[in-house]
């Protein structure tokens, strides 16, 4: 049995940061499933594939020359690590992610990431669809305003321009599409532990999650 911890939740809750901290602390593999949808969103934008053309997007997903290497994301050997983080690509990712055949095409890729000694995976449907038998499922949430504020600070720190009101509107639009799509909508698995990070710092969230890790994997942690 390969131990798996999944963290699902909407944009800007700190899932990626917590997942990376856990992977480092435990020495496990890390899957950022959102990066897959983002790369597909970027490839579709570059190749001018309409984001509502499920058939062409599925073909693109099936032939995606994607590699994760030492924390970098490569598409056709080009480094797209920064390019896929653009807000417009997040929005494109959420549109391509709404097509059921596209999601199926990316399912095996994600499941193959489950390797010993263990996997930490974050996204929207990791606990409900991709790894329904994961030993520990966390659902991380926070208010839309706080999440948009965090994104705003991240962009400003990177020297990029940002508009807070536009970010709040974008986050609401993306949440709405992710929560209400017909296939694999964003929702907490029935057996997920809910953590609300609205008023918590990253280290406070980490402490709560770590408590759960110790509870579920007492034999792994001294
Ligand atoms: O980092 P952030 O939370 O903004 O987004 P992300 O995790 O990189 O995901 C980008 C988009 O991909 C989301 O808005 C979802 O629509 C989609 N996604 C998904 O449908 N299923 C996943 N497991 C992960 C991401």
- HSE (side-chain half, CA atoms, 13 Å) at 180: 6
| Residue 3 Cβ contacting ligand 1 at under 6 Å | no
User: How close is the Cα of 94 to the center of ligand 1, in Å?
Assistant: 6
Ligand 1, atom nearest to 97 Cα: 20
Enumerate residue ranges in the chain where pLDDT < 70: 222
pLDDT of residue 179: 92
| Residue 87 Cβ contacting ligand 1 at under 6 Å | no
User: How close is the Cα of 139 to the center of ligand 1, in Å?
Assistant: 14
pLDDT of residue 222: 64
User: How close is the Cα of 172 to the center of ligand 1, in Å?
Assistant: 13
Q: How far apart are CA 140 and CA 75, in angstroms?
A: 29
Query: Please, are residues 40 and 95 in contact by the beta-carbon 8 Å criterion?
Result: no
CATH number of 4-214: 3.40.50.300
Query: Please, are residues 125 and 186 in contact by the beta-carbon 8 Å criterion?
Result: yes
| Residue 125 Cβ contacting ligand 1 at under 6 Å | yes
| Residue 94 Cβ contacting ligand 1 at under 6 Å | yes
pLDDT of residue 219: 86
| Residue 41 Cβ contacting ligand 1 at under 6 Å | no
Per-domain residue ranges of the chain: 4-214
User: How close is the Cα of 130 to the center of ligand 1, in Å?
Assistant: 14
Residue 122, CA distances (Å) to 41, 77, 130, 134, 164 in order: 18, 24, 11, 12, 25
| Residue 123 Cβ contacting ligand 1 at under 6 Å | yes
């Amino acid at each position: 049995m390969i131990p798996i911890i999944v963290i699902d939740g909407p944009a800007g809750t700190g899932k990626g940061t917590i997942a990376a901290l856990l992977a480092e602390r435990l020495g496990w593999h890390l899957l950022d499933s959102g990066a897959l949808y983002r790369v597909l969103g970027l490839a579709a934008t570059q190749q001018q594939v309409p984001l509502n053309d499920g058939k062409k997007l599925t073909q693109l997903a099936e032939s995606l020359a994607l590699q994760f290497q030492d924390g970098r994301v490569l598409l056709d050997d080009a480094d797209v690590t920064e390019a896929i983080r653009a807000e417009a690509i997040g929005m494109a990712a959420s549109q391509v992610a709404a097509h059921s055949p596209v999601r199926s095409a990316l399912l095996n890729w994600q499941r193959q990431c489950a390797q010993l000694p263990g996997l930490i995976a974050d996204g929207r449907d990791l606990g409900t669809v991709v790894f329904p038998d994961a030993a520990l499922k966390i659902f991380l949430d926070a208010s839309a305003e706080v999440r948009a504020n965090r994104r705003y600070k991240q962009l400003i720190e990177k020297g990029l321009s940002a508009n807070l009101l536009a970010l709040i509107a974008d986050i609401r639009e993306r949440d709405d599409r992710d929560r209400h799509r017909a296939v694999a909508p964003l929702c907490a698995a029935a057996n997920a532990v809910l953590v609300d990070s609205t008023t918590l710092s990253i280290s406070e969230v980490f402490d709560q999650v770590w408590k759960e890790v110790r509870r579920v994997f007492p034999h792994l942690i001294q």
